[in-house]
Structure 1
Amino acid sequence: MKKLFYIATITTLLFSCKQEVAEEKVVDDGLITVTEAQLQSSKMEIGSPIEQDFEVIVKSSGKIDVPPQYRAKVTTFLGGYVKATKLLVGDKVAKGQALITLENTDYLDLQKDYVEVAEQINYLKSEFERQKTLYNEKITSQKNYLKAESEYRQAKGMYQGLREKLLLLNINPANVERGKFTSQITISAPISGDITVMNANIGMFMSPSDVILEIVDTNYLHLNLSIFEKDILHVKQGQKITFKVPESSKEQFISNVQLVGKSIENKDRTISVFGTLTPEIKGKLLSGMFVEADIITDAKKGFGVPSDAVITENDKHYVLVLNSKKTEYKFKKVAVIVGEKSEKFIEIMPNDNVNAETKLLVKGVFELTN
C-alpha cells in the first residue's frame, strides 16, 4: 500500500513540473503573463531605458576601387596577332615591363612609309631653301617658292606623324632609318600593378578596339561610396567610416572620408564619397568588392535599450512593457519608434507609453515571442 502511495506522489510531482515548464508564457487579454519561477529560470531581466551616447550615421553602399590614374586598360592602336605572352591574371608587373608581343605585316608597311618620307625630306628641305634664296634675290617666282615650301612642310608633317606612330608601337625610328625593319612589336606596362583581366591567347588577333589586359595598382585602393542627395550635407571630410564586405566576411573595417563629390549627376541622385584605407586593410581587400558602410556624422544623447529588447515585425518595432506585477508579471506589447543604433543598444523615442521611468523586459524577450 505504501509503495502505491509513493508511486502516485512521484507521478503527481512529475506532472506538476511538466505543466509548469509547458506554461512558458500565457497570453491573457493581449498581455503576456510570466511567473516568478519562469522569470528566474529563463534568466529574464526587467529594466528601464538608459541614457546612452549614440553615433548619428549615414548609411551607404559602394565598392573598393582605385583612382583612374592607377587603373589601365592596355590596347594597341594598330592591330596584330598575339605572338607571345607569359602573364596570367594575378601576376604583378612593373611600369615599362614587356607584357605581350604582337605580329603584323602592317607594321612593315608603316616603317616603309616612314623611310620613304625620311629620304624625301632632305631633298625637299634643300629645294625649299634654294627656292627661298632665289626668291629673295628675285631670280625665281613666288609661285615656285611657295610650292617648294608647301611640299617641304607637308613631308615634314608626315615624317613627324609616322615617327610618333613608330614610337607608340615601341619601334625605334633610328633603327628603321638604318634599314632594320620588324614585323613584331612589344607592348609595355603603362603602370605598375596587378593584372586583373587577360583577354589574349597565342594566335588571337587583337584589334584596336580590344582590351588586351587590365592592370590595377592595388597600393592605391580606396573606398568609393554613393551617398543620397538627402544625406550629403551631413557628410564632411575627415569623418569616420565603418564598413563591411558582406559577401566575404563579417569583419568590420575602418576608414575616413577623404573627398566628397561636388555635383549630383547620376540618375539615382547620388554623390560619390571617397575614403582612405590603411595598408593593412588594403591587403585584405580586392578591387571591385561590394561594401556596406556607415558614415559617422555626429554624436548625440538618447534613451536606449539592449538590442535584444526590441521586437521587429513587418518593419515595425515593439517592446514588452511591464503592465502589472502581483503574483505574476504581465507584459504588454507596445509599439515604439527606434532611432540610432550602437553595438549593443538601440535608441527608442519616448512616447506616452514608454519613457525613462518605464519598466520593460530588457533580457529574455526572445523566449516570450517565439
Structure 2
Amino acid sequence: MKIINNNSLLWLAAVIISASSCSSSPNQDAPQPKAQPVQVRVETPSLSSDNSITVTGQVEPVHTAHISTRVMGFITAIKVNAGDHVSKGQVLVTISNEDILAKLAQADAMLSSASAAYQSAEKDYQRFTNLYNQKSASAKELDNVTLQYQAAKAGVRAAEQMKAEARAMLAYTNITAPFAGIVAKKLADAGSMANPGMPILIIEQEGNLQVNASVPETEISRIKLKSPAAAWVESLNKSFTGEVVEINPSSIGSGGQFLVKISLPQEAQASLYAGMYARVRINTNGAPSSMDQETVLVPLSAINRIGQLDALYTVSSQGTALLRYVRLGKIYGDKVEVLSGLNSNEGFIIKAGGKLYNGVPVKAASL
C-alpha cells in the first residue's frame, strides 16, 4: 500500500478549494436583463373600392400669355423682369419704330393729297351737275366728272386705311399686358431682334391655378365633367379638393394620353406655384373599372424602403415587431395600395416610440 505524503495532500486540497470557489461564483447564475418593450400604435388597413383613378399632373395657371410682337425690329426696352406683377394694359416691351413712323408720315401726306384732290373733284362734280341741269353740259362731260369725283373719293378712303394700318403697326411696337398677372419668364433682353411670333415674355394669371393631368385611354371613359377630384401636392404635404372642369377629347400627339383639367379651391391659390407636381385622384362616380374590388390602403409613413424593397412592421403572436415585405401599387394622396404581403384584417405599426427591429418586444399604446 502506497503512502501519500503531506505535500500531495496539500496540493489536492488547494485544487478542491479553488474548484469549489469557482463553482459558487455569484455572476454565473445571475438572470440576463430583458429588453424593454417599445410602445407602438397599431392600425388596420383602410379599404377602398376601386371607384377612382389616380394620375399625375402639374399645377398650371388657367390663363397663360406668350407675349410677342407682330412687327420686326430691335427691342428698345423691356420694362419688367421675371416675378414682377403687372396690370392689364401696362406697357411691357417697346420695339424700335422709326420705319413705322416714316410710313405714318407718308400716309398722312398721301391722305392730305387725296383730300385735296377729292375737294377739287367734288366742286367740279357739283358745277357740272348744275350745268347739266341747265342744259349747258353734255351727259358725257357729266359722266367724266362723276368718275373723277368717285375716284377721288375712293382715293381718300384708301389713304385713310393706309394711315390706320400705319397707326396699328405703330401700336404693335408698344406691347401691353393682356391681363393682370405675374411675369413668369423673361426670354429676351433689350437690343435683341424681335421677330413676329417670337416669345419675349410669359405672363401668368395670378390666383387662378389648376392641375393639368394626363389620363390613359383605358380610363378616360370613366371620367365625366364635374367629377370630384383630390390633388395631393407632395412638396407641400397637402391635399386640395376640386373637380374636373375640362376633358380634352383627343389624344393625338400625346401618346394616348388625354388632358384633363382639375380646378383648385381659392384657399389653395396662395400656397401653390405653377409647375408643382401633384398626384390626382379622380372619383369616377361608380363607373365600372377593369378591377372592381376593394383596395387595401396603408399610410405612406408606415412604409420602410429597404434597398429596392418595401416593408412595414407588424406585431407577431409573441408580441414582437415583425418586418413584413409588401408589394405596393397605386398611390392615393397620403396612402398607398398594398397588392400583397398584408391582409385587410391584419394590424401594422403606424408609429413607434423607439427604434424598431425584428424581434424587439412591442406594446400597444396611444401615441
Does 2:273 match 1:253?
no
Q: CA deviation at 1:150?
A: 5.2
In structure 2, C-alpha distance between the alignment counterparts of 1:90 and 1:305, rounded to whole Å: 41
The answer to whether the aligner puts 1:120 opposite 2:116 as a matched pair is: no
TM norm structure 1: 0.65
Q: Distance in 2 between matches of 1:265 and 1:295?
A: 22
**1:219 maps to which residue?**
207
Q: Hey, what's the Cα distance between the residues in 2 that align with 1:121 and 1:283?
A: 59
5 Å-filtered alignment, 1:120-269, equals: 120-126=113-119, 129=122, 138-140=139-141, 149=150, 152-153=153-154, 156-170=157-171, 186-246=174-234, 248-269=235-256
Counterpart in the other structure of 1:64:
59
User: CA contact under 8 A between 1:319 and 1:336: conserved in structure 2?
Assistant: no
What is the aligned counterpart of 2:259 among 272, 281, 284? 272
Separation in 1 of the partners of 2:309 and 2:106? 73
Residue in 1 that maps onto 2:25: 5
Secondary structure of 2:109's partner? Answer: helix
- Find the partner of 1:288 among 275, 278, 291: 275
The CA distance in 2 between the partners of 1:150 and 1:170, in whole Å, is 30
Tell me how far apart the structure 2 counterparts of residues 42 and 315 of structure 1 sit (CA, whole Å).
Answer: 24
8 Å contact kept, 1:336–1:348: yes
User: How far off its partner does 1:121 sit?
Assistant: 2.5
Counterpart secondary structure, 1:169: helix
Tell me the CA shift for residue 286 of structure 1: 2.1
Residue-by-residue CA offset, 1:237-265 (whole Å, 9 max, x unaligned): 2222222344x332222222122233333
- Aligned-residue Cα RMSD (Å) equals 4.9
Which structure has the bigger radius of gyration?
2
Contact 1:305 1:348 in 2 (8 A): no
After superposition, the C-alpha distances for 1:140-168 in whole angstroms (9 at most, x for unaligned) are: 38688657645653652353143133135
Deviates more, 1:215-224 or 1:306-315: 306-315
TM-score under structure 2 length normalisation: 0.65
Runs of 5+ consecutive residues of structure 1 not aligned to the other structure: 22-39, 172-184
Distance in 1 between residues matched to 2:255 and 2:197, nearest whole Å: 30
Question: Which structure 2 residue ranges, 5 or more long, are not aligned?
Answer: 1-20, 133-137, 287-291, 351-355, 360-367
User: How much has 1:201 moved relative to structure 2?
Assistant: 3.3
Higher mean Cα deviation, 153-162 or 302-311? 302-311
Residue equivalent to 1:182? none
Task: Give distance in 2, aligned partners of 1:339 and 1:104.
Answer: 58
* CA-CA distance at 1:217 after TM superposition: 1.2
Cα distance between partner residues in 2 of 1:303 and 1:209: 50
Q: 1:130 to 1:312 in 2, by over 3 A?
A: farther
Alignment of 1:8-23 (within 5 A): 8-10=28-30, 13-14=31-32
Residues 128, 119 of structure 1: CA spacing in aligned structure 2 closer, same or farther, 3 A cutoff?
same
1:281 Cα offset (Å)? 1.1
